[in-house]
Structure 1
Amino acid sequence: MSAIDDLPPLRDVLAAHELNAKKALGQNFLLDLNLTQKIARNAGSLEGAHVIEVGPGPGGLTRAILSLGAARLTVIERDERCLPALREIGERYPGRLEIIEGDALKVDFATLAGDAPVKIIANLPYNVGTQLLVNWLLPGSWPPYWQSLTLMFQKEVAQRIVAGPGDGHYGRLGVLAGWRTEARIAFDVPPQAFTPPPKVTSSVVHLTPREAPLAVAAEALERVTQAAFGQRRKMLRQSVKSLGGEALLERAGIDPTRRAETLSVAEFCALANAIG
């Protein structure tokens, strides 16, 4: 019996189903159920909530979410080897767990969420985590269909998400996350917490949507940040030359000799709005 429910310890689950983490799927399994509960608690109260989890693997975080009272949990798993272990969890929590086999990058999360806001909680596979975050940050309408995001990334990626101007980690992710959300690093997770241990430390990031982010077209903001940070060592008049160069910067009221890492989110929005 485990520390949080009457299901077997996760090491026994891995052995029973002959599960080994696949590098090609970006898998690193978390086996400490106290740690998975700590991750889930950072999403706030889950009592009665609808939660979506991506990449549950053998179900460590899944069990934590359900043990904390989520009324409904939808998990998306592309590795069919993990499905039997997840079904066993579903039998322990009848009517509360929905399992979707498939690629999370191809899932329509807004449709999955339905009418009520959801909380997304995930130990994201390393190879798709950043793209999933960008997709969640850039839905067409705002506020979004999600109430919060509680996600685990490599620490370096987490630092990029929460970074602001002047920070060496500041870049496209920091601008997009800072534009539409309040983001913070909740805590770090050492490599030895995983099976197999990755080569890097991981971090849990919690994001909540801003009610009224600055008005700007997401596509234009992406174009500006991609150009500006694509040549971050150069002055803006050179890095955004393909978008209008000095004329664009003049319309936005920004000194052309500045560099991308010095611009605030508001200034990036002004630059995006100045694109013809």
Structure 2
Amino acid sequence: MEWFLEQEPVVRLGFLFGVLGIMAAWEVLAPRRALTIGKAYRWANNWGIVITNTVLTRLIFPAGAVGLAFFVESQGWGLLQVLELPFWLSVLIALVVLDFAIWAQHVMFHAVPALWRLHRMHHADLDFDVTTGLRFHPIEILLSFGIKAGVIVMIGAPVIAVLIFEIILSSLALFNHSNVRIPTGIDRVLRWFIVTPDFHRVHHSWYPHETNSNFGFNLSLWDRLLGTYRAQPQDGHEGMTIGINLFRDPSWERLDKMLVQPFIGPADSYPINRRPEGEVATWPPAGESAGKAGTTR
């Protein structure tokens, strides 16, 4: 067990950097959109967030999700530890339940204004590329770990299922946030099963009705089944505006300013079913230019 726990970070980092290298190269060879902000500036600050989050989670939760699963399994806690199911079925159920939990958590972070304040740092990226998939506020990362830990304990997720899920989650987050061009026919088939970059990019549109769609990270079926699927952005993938209306100045891409974003300005224009009085469900508001809308809230 100790050996496995020692090697687990190595395995996960190997997959992380392997997928990152592949997607970064793909972005250079076949980009989907032209970037609006210098890549060196954005990447330096986005990686600053990644390093901050990694240090925090390892300090506060040194064993991580896999270590927790080991403990849960040793104690015999959780539904899957009680049910006499074939091991492969327990692993499959755990993977599906964990993925749904991440989807539901994502919706919750859009629906509750206080949680949206944390999550909107992810959406405030003015471009959409592989590093966007790693850009989350440290407080959101800690809350997310707590939610995931609760699910692991409740269902008694097998250790191998948690390890596989952690690898899939980080790998697909890099894939579906990448600025890569995939042939339309291939994308059309893939999105029936997994979240593709074109599928998820809609979620990063600055229109609230598009931001509040396509919540999936791994499996695409949750959005289809639960009515939050939107096939394409209304302005097209090349013409759509990435980001949110509040943080349009590139200076908000700086690490120190990203960390304080949850405490800046109102949080009333994007949370699900929460709009200022009289505002319609489109963005920018009628009669207001996109440039003006980007600086008024």
Report the TM-score, using the length of structure 1 for normalisation: 0.27
Q: With CA pairs under 8 Å and 6+ residues apart, which has the higher RCO, 1 or 2?
A: 2
Structure number having the greater strand percentage = 1
Report the TM-score, using the length of structure 2 for normalisation: 0.25
Structure number having the greater helix percentage = 2
